Structure formats: C-alpha cells, structure tokens
Amino acid sequence: MTTDRTLVVADDLTGATDTGHSFAARGYETIVRIDPDFDAPEAAVFVVDTDSRYVDRDEAATRVQDVVASIEAAIVYKKVDSTLRGNLGAEIVAAYDAMDADAATVAPAFPSNDRLTASGYHLVGGKLVTNTEAGKDPDSPVETSHIPRLLRTQIDDSIAYADVECVASRSAAKKLYCSNEITGDERRIVVFDAVHDSHLDIIAEAAHEYDGDVLLVGSAGLAEAVRLPGKPTAERLTLADNPTATAFGIVGSVNPQTLTQLDALSRNRVISLDTTVAVHDPAAAAAAAADKCLKRFDSEPAVVLASARDHGDVEGTLDAANRASIPERKAREYVTSALGMAAAQVWEASEPGGLFLTGGSVAKAVLGRLDAGGIALRGEGISVGVPAGEIRGGPANGTPIVTKAGAFGDDSTIVDAINYLRRTPERSK
C-alpha cells in the first residue's frame, strides 16, 4: 500500500463511480471496491462504497469510520450526494475523527452538472433541492436546502460558512479556516458556496495550501479540482469503429430523467420486469424476466430490463405492494432483488459483451449477484457523471460497464451508453 494513495469514501455505488471518474479522467489509476475483501494496491485512487445512504446514522458513521481508519491514504475525500440525501453530518464527523483531521472543506456543488450552492442554499437545475425529487425521497428526504443549517441539525459543532464573494476573492477562502465562527475544541468544518467550476478550483487550492490535514467533502465536482500526489499513468481504451458487441442494461431508477432516457430506446430493446409479481415473489419475477431477455437477444444485440417505463408503472407497483400489505420500502427491496437475480441468470446463459446499470442500489445488487470485486474506471464518460469502466472479479471479469445515477444525463444518455458498450473490444476473461 502506498502513502500516495487517495481514498474516496462514497455512500452509494453510482456516486462512487462518478466521483472516481473525476480522478480517472485525469489519468490516475482508479479502482472502485465492491466486495469488502477486494483490494487494489496498484491504484492511485481507491474508492470505497459504504452503502450507507439509507441506513441509520450510527451505522453509517461506523461504516465510514472503519473504512477511513483501516486504509492508509495521503488524501481522504468524503463523497456526498450532490442532492444532499443521506447521512451527511454523521459521515463527515466519522471521517474527520478517523483521519484526525484539522479541518473539513464541504462543497457539494457540481456546477457542470447544474448543482450550485449560493448563499448557503443548494440548487439543482435552478430549483432549491427541497423542491426536487431529492426533497421527496421516500427514504431520505432533504428537509432544508441551506447546507450550514442542514449540518447544524446533524453535528454538534459550529459550522463555518464562506459565501461566494469570500470564495471568489481567493485569499478570503484560505483565511476562513481561521474563522471566529469556530472556537475551542470544535471540529473546523467549513461550508463553501460554489456557482462556477472555477470556484471549486479555488476551494481545492485553499485546502491544498492549508497548514494541516484537510478532509475534503463534496460530490464529483470538487473531486475534479483536487490536486493529487504522483503522476497519471492510466491508458485509454481504443473503441471499435462499428458496434458489434452485445450489451445488457438494468434500469432500476424511477427518476423522471431516467424514464425520459428509456423513452429514447427502441421499444424492441426494452423488457419490463413484472413488478406486481416481484413485490411478493422476486425469484419468480426474475426468472420470467430473464427468459424474456434471453429470447429478445435472439433478435436484438442490446436488451434493457427496466423496473418501470413511466410513472403509471411506479404507481402500479406501489398499489400491488399495498394490496399485499407489503411496506413500500420492502417492496422496493424486492424489486431490486429481482433485477439482480435476473441479471445473474442472463449472464450465466449468454455472457453479454457489456453492462449498463442505473440506480445505486440496483447497481450494487447486480454486481453482487455477479460476484464482482470492483470496477476499474477507464477515465472515459458517456456524459457528465456517467463513467465507463471494467468489472474486476467474478464471472463478468473484464466486462465493460457504464454506471449512471438516476438523475444524471440528458435524454440520449442510455442510448449513448449502449452504443458505447457495443463498440468496446471483446472482454478479457
């Protein structure tokens, strides 16, 4: 293990991959860990998914603390959701204490992906984050868009804040680490405004020049600005001119943006999971869906299995769960499980040439069923926050993969991802 290693700790898998991509795109060897026993000592950047976004705060803190305390690293980057979901405060404190930090820089903004922080308020697509899908998240709704206020409800220490004027003046951003807002033995946690990518550059530079160990906290946006030790060594993949490989997609996100992206696919390429069965018998739904996918591969080079095509499908799933007296959260878990089982059955029978996954919990379930140890990121992306890589370990070892968070991408992103996978070379088994 090298002390030049950078450790990234994310709370879900698609967040782990999109943030890891921020380093891989600059040529740094970047590996995302899926299996807790998997390691990659050759990686300059080692990304760990604690799968802690939707667990209780104490469990989330324990998972983060265990990872940070057990992996030696020169830089620790705590990846948080760019829409503020999850256990932000608990995980920041856990990482801060585990690395014995002197300060924490908190900047979840991702301007190039339309996530901004202004006057302390976090906006997504020009809306306060509380007025987006994140504000209605059934498991972790965001209750305030004001980041310092949000953290103050979760952390006992004072929270310092740097407005956009302070950040843009450069010297002021650096001086803020000596802010009078933080006194005594409190942790030095500073929230920064950022409405432009250049602001993230300034924030990262301030952290780099700070006289002490700084915990970096942000989404994939700040990660792009972090200065790393060592030199880039990774090589890029050469794609084929024409798409010849097969590709398999699993779409478990029901975010409106993902549903719009599904509409851009040919209907012949989309198979719908029978979620009315999945909510009470995941194995039966998985077997039926896998059979349909395998038959469709006889006539189509790319097939996508989806849990929903529109909002009506989502409502139908919830109605079926309600009729069966199954709690909504448990129903979602059953659907996710069915998608994972179906993917494994398709893989065992046909071994597609590439894999596309969207939705963090679904990506985790599918890769778990495939016994994947990790993902080696290639530094290539389909669009902002939609990275490409290669599976490490298990029966899908060497398979090209593209992952996407539900809300990321434009209308053609799923089509573009499938086309990319079909142009990748034959996998190395």
pLDDT tens across 104-118, in order?
999 999 999 999 999
CA atoms within 13 A on the CB side of 300: 20
* Across 67-71, average pLDDT: 96
Give the pLDDT confidence score for residue 89 in this predicted structure: 96
Tens digits of residue pLDDT in 310-364: 888 888 888 888 898 999 889 899 999 999 999 999 999 999 999 999 988 899 9
* 224 pLDDT higher than 60: yes
Q: Is the pLDDT of residue 190 over 50?
A: yes
Instruction: Quote the pTM value.
Output: 0.88
Closest CA to 151 of 159, 139, 143: 159
pLDDT of residue 183 exceeding 60, the answer is yes
pLDDT at residue 184 is higher than 60:
yes
Average pLDDT over residues 128-148: 92
Find the mean pLDDT for residues 392-416.
91
* Band of pLDDT at residue 138, cut at 50, 70 and 90: confident
Bridge partner list, 189 = 104, 159
Residue 415 has pLDDT above 90, yes or no: yes
User: How many residues does the structure list for the chain?
Assistant: 429
**Which pair of structure tokens corresponds to residue 111?**
């301007």
For 113-254, list the strands marked E by DSSP: 115-118, 121-124, 127-128, 159-162, 189-192, 214-218, 247-251
pLDDT of residue 235: 66
Binning pLDDT at 50, 70 and 90, where does residue 240 land? low
Once rounded to an integer, what is the mean pLDDT over residues 154-161?
91
Q: Is the pLDDT of residue 2 over 50?
A: no
Evaluate if residue 83 carries a pLDDT over 80. Answer: yes
Q: Is the pLDDT of residue 34 over 80?
A: yes
**For position 140, what pLDDT does the model report?**
86
Q: What's the confidence (pLDDT) of residue 239? A: 67
So what's the pLDDT on residue 261?
92
User: In the beta sheet, which residues pair with residue 7?
Assistant: 46, 76
Nearest Cα residue to 23 out of 79, 84, 101: 79
- Quick one: what percent of the chain has pLDDT higher than 90? 72
3-state secondary structure of 61: helix
- Smallest CA-to-CA distance from 65 within 83, 46, 78 is with 78
Strand 121-124 to 75-79 pairing: unpaired
Residue 1: per-residue pLDDT: 38
Residue 428 has pLDDT above 60, yes or no: no
Average pLDDT over residues 362-388: 91
- The SS3 of residue 196 is coil
Average pLDDT of the residues of the chain:
91
Which of the four pLDDT bands, split at 50, 70 and 90, describes residue 276?
very high
pLDDT score recorded for residue 200: 96
pLDDT of residue 155: 93
> What is the arithmetic mean of pLDDT over 65-89?
95
Work out the pLDDT band at 238, boundaries 50, 70, 90.
Answer: low
Q: Is the pLDDT of residue 429 over 50?
A: no
Q: Residue 426's pLDDT band (boundaries 50, 70, 90)?
A: low
In angstroms, the CA 355 to CA 338 distance is: 17
Query: What is the structure's pLDDT at 359?
Result: 85
State the DSSP H helix or E strand holding residue 46, giving kind and residue range, or none if neither: strand 45-49
Most confident stretch, 58-62, 158-162, 410-414: 58-62
